[in-house]
């Protein structure tokens, strides 16, 4: 049994149908990449990382190339990856030159005694390991510059409210292994050094074999405050809630605090649930019966 879900962020509808179709095509490409890994016998962890890698390489999303810009006009990126079999994880925050932050998170998981590296320390370690880098200008797009200019003029620090948000993937493979991956540029006009939930295990993502894999998107401060991803898993494990009931309950808590966003979630039986409380969330899934769902 296998299943995959991916997302391209929660936010407001953009009204630009052509762009929306491009985003759905990118989500389909991410699903296809993840499925190709599983088809050749790869594990859930690799499939999740590769699916996210596709979305990092697209300028249509707030991750990798196309990340939103901080107050200084820089892209500072966060990512994390978690393996459900042993709950091993790798995470990175505040990097500015790593082409694919999710691959750095994967390398940390495999090769570092640590879970979480940040900023220049993470970049130095990545260079030592031979990971691909780019000049900071590579990550900056014209659309993100315009978004920053508007936010600066209006004094706002915000989610990217055009449906081009944080990206993530959750995967169940044929061995029953689960994995979760998340990557983001954070908030437009955020303070330099701000870190959200995406790189925090238990807040923006969680995976545990036999239970669930969760990836979150939204205003990270709210998801951090209640350890949202792990809260879903705890409600399933200790309160006996289904995946659907657990994700909806935690998302209601986020809403009650004033936050918005959503989850993509898988359980050990291949059930998929992708709730959100924003206007929309770009999302796609491949269910165990081979059916593909795309929406945004």
Domain count, the chain: 1
In a domain, 64, yes or no: yes
Say yes or no to pLDDT of 14 above 80.
no
Q: CATH number of the domain that 208 lies in?
A: 3.60.20.30
How confident is the model at residue 83, as a pLDDT?
Answer: 98
For 100-151, how does the pLDDT look when each residue is reduced to its tens digit (9 = 90+)? 999 999 999 999 999 999 999 999 999 999 999 999 999 999 999 999 999 9
With respect to residue 59, please indicate whether it lies within any of the assigned structural domains: yes
pLDDT of residue 11: 79
- Check pLDDT > 50 for residue 216: yes
In a domain, 49, yes or no: yes
In a domain, 70, yes or no: yes
Q: What would the 3-class secondary structure string for the chain be?
A: CCEEEEEEEEECCCCCHHHHHHHHHHHHHHHHHHHHHHHCCCCHHHHHHHHHHHHHCCCCCCCCCCCCCCCCCCCCEEEEEEECCCCEEEEEEEECCECCHHHHHHHHHHHCCCCEEEHHHHHHHHHHCCCCECCHHHHCCHHHHHHHHHHHHHCCCECCCCCCCCEEEEEECCCCCEEEEEEECCCECCCCCCCCCCCCECCCEEEECCCEEEEEEECHHHHHHCCHHHHHHHHHHHHCCCHHHHHHHHHHHHHHCCCCEEEEEEECCCCEECCECCCEEEEEEECCCCCEEEEC
The catalytically annotated residue of 97, 166, 217, 280 is 166
Instruction: Show the domain range for 260.
Output: 3-284
280 is catalytic: no
């Amino acid at each position: 049994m296998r299943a995959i879900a991916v997302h391209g962020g929660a936010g407001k509808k953009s009204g630009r149908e052509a762009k929306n179709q491009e985003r759905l095509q990118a989500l389909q490409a991410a699903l296809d990449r993840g499925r190709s890994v599983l088809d050749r016998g790869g594990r859930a962890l690799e499939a999740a990382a590769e699916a996210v890698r596709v979305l990092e390489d697209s300028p249509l999303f707030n991750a990798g190339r196309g990340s939103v810009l901080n107050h200084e006009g820089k892209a500072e990126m966060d990512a994390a990856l978690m393996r459900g079999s042993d709950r091993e994880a790798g995470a990175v925050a505040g990097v500015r030159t790593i082409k694919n932050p999710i691959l750095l998170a994967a390398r940390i998981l495999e090769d570092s005694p640590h879970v979480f590296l940040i900023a220049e320390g993470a970049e130095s370690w990545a260079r030592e390991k031979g990971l691909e880098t780019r000049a900071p200008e590579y990550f900056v797009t014209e659309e993100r510059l315009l978004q920053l200019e508007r936010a600066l003029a209006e004094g706002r620090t915000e989610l990217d409210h055009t449906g081009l948000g944080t990206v993530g993937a959750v995967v169940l493979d044929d061995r029953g292994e689960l994995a979760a991956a998340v990557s983001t540029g954070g908030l437009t006009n955020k303070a330099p050094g701000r870190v959200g939930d995406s790189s925090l295990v238990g807040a923006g993502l969680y995976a545990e074999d036999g239970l669930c894999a969760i990836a979150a998107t939204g205003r990270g401060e709210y998801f951090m405050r209640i350890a949202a991803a792990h809260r879903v898993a705890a409600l399933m494990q200790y309160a006996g809630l289904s995946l659907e009931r657990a994700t909806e309950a935690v998302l209601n808590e986020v809403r009650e605090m004033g936050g918005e966003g959503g989850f993509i979630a898988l359980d050990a039986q291949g059930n998929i649930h992708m709730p959100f409380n924003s206007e929309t969330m770009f999302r796609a899934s491949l269910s165990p019966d081979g059916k593909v769902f795309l929406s945004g």
